[in-house]
Amino acid sequence: MVYRAPGDARAHVTVVLEKTALAEGRVGNATGVRRVRADDVADVASRAVVALGLTGPVDLDVRRDAAGRPVVLEVNARFGTNCAAAPEVIDAVLADVGLPVAGVGGA
């Protein structure tokens, strides 16, 4: 998940979530996620958001190809279903519109 504020040249917040369970076994919507550190995935996601000129919250699906390189499969210019697992994205949106931030995400 990525958040890029209007007017920013780069992505402001990037959180990588790995799907741990899918609604239909090997496919379908994620029914479970966990945060992971994957700097290359975060970089590809952030660069995709900037290249597409998107601002606000963006949910991306990124997979690794046969060589292990991350590639973007899908881009949704909206909060993702699992945004609760990335509270700093929500905090950044609230801060940018001048609303109080709960401080849970530490944005």
pLDDT digits (tens, 9 = 90+) for 26-84: 666 777 889 999 999 999 999 999 999 999 999 999 999 999 999 999 999 999 989 99
Using DSSP bridges, classify how beta strands 2-4 and 13-14 pair: parallel, antiparallel or unpaired.
Answer: antiparallel
Domain 2-96 annotated CATH 3.50.50.60:
no
CA distance 41 to 43: 5
Q: What pLDDT, on a 0 to 100 scale, did the predictor assign at position 27?
A: 61
Confidence of residue 25 (pLDDT cuts 50, 70, 90): low
pTM given for the model: 0.84
pLDDT of residue 107: 41
Distances (CA, A) of 51 to 10, 11, 27, 45, 69: 10, 11, 28, 10, 18
Measured between alpha carbons, how far is 53 from 83 in angstroms, rounded to an integer? 21
